[in-house]
Amino acid sequence: MTDEVNIHAHGRTGHISLNRPKALHALTLDMCHAMSKTLAEWAAGGEIEAVILDHAEGRGFCAGGDINLLRHSALNDDGRSGRKFFHDEYQLNHQMFEYDKPIVAFMDGITMGGGVGIALPCKYRVATEHTRFAMPETGIGLFPDVGGGWHLSRLGGRLGQFLALTGARLDGAECVWAGIATHYLPTEKLAEAKARITEHPDRISGILSELSVSPPEARIEANFDAIKKHFASDRYEDILASLEADDSEWAAKELATLRTKSPQTCKVALRQLAESEKLDSFADNMRMEYRIASRVLTRPDFSEGVRAVIVDKTNDPQWDPATPEGVSEELLDSIFAPLPADEEWKPL
């Protein structure tokens, strides 16, 4: 086990608290393993009736996955350790999605990437005034994985496609409006909510309803019609052309944002969401996303994106291919193709 996750049982309630504050609780492989092992033990035993998932301190719920490990793997071991990380992280995502006891995720603070992967499978997802939700992967040459294809494709109104491509950040009110969060609580109510859930794990729904407040107006609602219009196509070039033809300030801003993203992974994300929407099992989605991750990890854009955005902070990634037109259907086919049978993703 690891001291990067605090794990306790209080009577009939299990409590998993992410504890890597300097990295905004970004997930390591050891953290994923500790969580999976604990959830399996609680599932097998009869004592625990519900699980609280939160973070110990600091301003992030969970800022993502171990990007440094993934980049090191891409550059130094042909992606082997990176694939291992993705494989086991996706097992945790699936385990949580299928878990037969309710999990309450307190998304208080930054909830991005890998944090989304452990929050959205939970039955109860609590947003606050500090929540900042995003899937920003296309900006570093990745794609919205950890179940993002499943969750985003089911938001409706092309909102998922907008979030996947732009990496837009939603606040807590917007998360409730979009259906990403189930409840909105002010931060000062969280301790009471956790204490009452610990005492009465059979009354989670009622407790959260009693403590919830009406969130502020969701700012994104004002742009929802524009999102539906401009992000309607599954063809990336169509989305860019639609935004180019609109002389509004909003369209110009979103177009400028898209111009900074990896054309390859924007096209990957659009196909990923289109394919995921047709799937009827979360396991099939994770199998698809593992195939994508295994290929994208070692393609040029990931290492280059992390260098430009996270390591050097120059924000000048040189994408390869450099243009949407350069990303061929044949390249996409190769990224989505099945892996050899003994390398495919498998659930726990």
Residues tagged active-site: 65, 114, 137, 145
* Contact assessment for residue 103 and residue 51, using Cβ atoms and an 8 Å cutoff: yes
DSSP H or E stretch at residue 16:
strand 13-18
Report the Cα–Cα distance between both ends of the chain, in Å, rounded.
18
* Contact assessment for residue 31 and residue 2, using Cβ atoms and an 8 Å cutoff: yes
Beta bridge partners of 55: 18
Length of the chain: 348
Helix (H, G, I), strand (E, B) or coil at 175: helix
Rounded Cα distance between 27 and 92, Å, is: 11
- The dihedral region occupied by 25, where left means phi > 0, alpha psi between -120 and 50, and beta the remainder, is left
Q: Tokens representing 231?
A: 């992000």
* Contact assessment for residue 131 and residue 171, using Cβ atoms and an 8 Å cutoff: yes
Contacts of 319 (CB under 8 A, 6+ apart): 141, 262, 263, 264, 301, 304, 305
b/e string for 107-122 if b means 16 or more Cβ within 10 A? Answer: bbbbbbbbbbbbbbbb
Residue with tokens 């992974």: 265
* Contact assessment for residue 320 and residue 308, using Cβ atoms and an 8 Å cutoff: no
At 316, give phi and psi (nearest 5°). -130, 50
Of 310, 283, 304, 293, the closest CA to residue 144 belongs to 293
Rounded Cα distance between 211 and 194, Å, is: 11
Helix (H, G, I), strand (E, B) or coil at 124: strand
Contacts of 245 (CB under 8 A, 6+ apart): none
